[in-house]
Every structure is written in structure tokens, then in C-alpha cells.
Amino acid sequence: MRRGLTLLELLLAVALLAGAAAAIVPLSRTALGSMQDIDRDLAWQRSADMTLAEIDRLILRRDRGPSRADAVTTTDDRLQVRLATGAMVTIRSEDDRLLSRRASDPGRLLLAEIENVSFELDEETQLLTVRIESSGRLTASRTWEVTP
């Protein structure tokens, strides 16, 4: 009656395990690389949603006085909101970033890795639409009614 493995059987088992491990390493690297791309996309989408939420807060805090029909103004790459306190907040795209600036404040980064951003205010319906597109072709958009 024999107990255990012979040296030859042990070496063969180790060689098989090493071969299996060598085959699994490239597969796991591929899987981890794909997960990293997915994480980057999710992080950008979450940041874009938070940026839109920040714009939402600004719209809610805008000046609603009777003479303030221009409390929200837009250009192609810029959104300006006059707050009830009188301060003006500007959100603009610069290079591949979206920045927020309040009066004399040097500004702060809202979102990076953007390919395109558009601020559209329909004068007739008073609907403000903000669309943000990432360099990875992800998009985020929201529409607000900004009637005085």
C-alpha cells in the first residue's frame, strides 16, 4: 500500500497548476481592465449628475424679482445665473473642463473630460436645457423651466 505521490507525480501536478495559473493571469488582467473602464465611466456619469444638481440648486436660488427677467442667460459655452443675493454665478467650459465662478472667486472645477457642453435657453417656452458630453461619448442632460 502506497501513501502520497512519487516525485514524478508531484512534479507533474505542479507543472499543471503552473500552466493553469499562467492561463488565468491574462484573463484576469483583461477582466480588470474592462472593470476599470466601467468604473471610469460610472465615476464620470456620477460627476455629471452632481454637476447638473449644482445647476439645479443655482436655478432654484436665482433672483425672481419682477425686474429680473434676465436672471438666467446663456451663450454657446456659458451659463450665467443671478442669485437672489445679487451675486452672479458663471458656469463655462474651458478646454476639456467645466468651471463655476462666482463674482471675484477664482473658480472651481465642476467636471473634467468633457468633449462638448451646450446651454440652450428657449426664449419662447423659457426652458433651459444643459447637455454635457464626455470625451468617452457619455452624455448627461437636464431641462428646467425658468419662468420669472
Checking if the pLDDT of 131 tops 70, the result is yes
The residues near 118 (Cβ < 8 Å, ≥ 6 apart) are 76, 77, 129, 130, 131
User: What does the alpha-carbon distance between residue 117 and residue 106 come to, in Å, rounded to a whole number?
Assistant: 21
**pLDDT tens digits, residue range 83-106?**
888 888 999 998 899 999 987 787
Grade residue 1 by pLDDT with cuts at 50, 70 and 90: low
**pLDDT tens digits, residue range 102-126?**
877 878 999 999 999 999 999 888 8
Q: What is the pLDDT of residue 105?
A: 80
Nearest to 70 by CA among 148, 8, 17, 134: 148
Q: What is the pLDDT of residue 115?
A: 92
Q: What is the pLDDT of residue 68?
A: 62
Grade residue 13 by pLDDT with cuts at 50, 70 and 90: confident
Question: Which grid coordinates belong to 46?
Answer: 456620477
Nearest to 87 by CA among 75, 105, 99: 105
**DSSP classification of residue 94:** E
User: What does the alpha-carbon distance between residue 38 and residue 50 come to, in Å, rounded to a whole number?
Assistant: 18
**pLDDT tens digits, residue range 21-62?**
888 877 777 766 666 777 888 899 999 999 999 999 999 888
CA distances from residue 16 to 9, 19, 27, 29 in whole angstroms, order as listed: 11, 5, 17, 21
Checking if the pLDDT of 63 tops 80, the result is no
Give the amino acid at 125.
Answer: T
Q: What is the pLDDT of residue 39?
A: 82
Grade residue 79 by pLDDT with cuts at 50, 70 and 90: very high
User: What does the alpha-carbon distance between residue 79 and residue 54 come to, in Å, rounded to a whole number?
Assistant: 12
Q: What is the pLDDT of residue 9?
A: 82
Strand partners, 101: 90
Q: What is the pLDDT of residue 51?
A: 94
Nearest to 49 by CA among 127, 135, 41, 14: 41
**Cell 436672471 belongs to residue:** 71
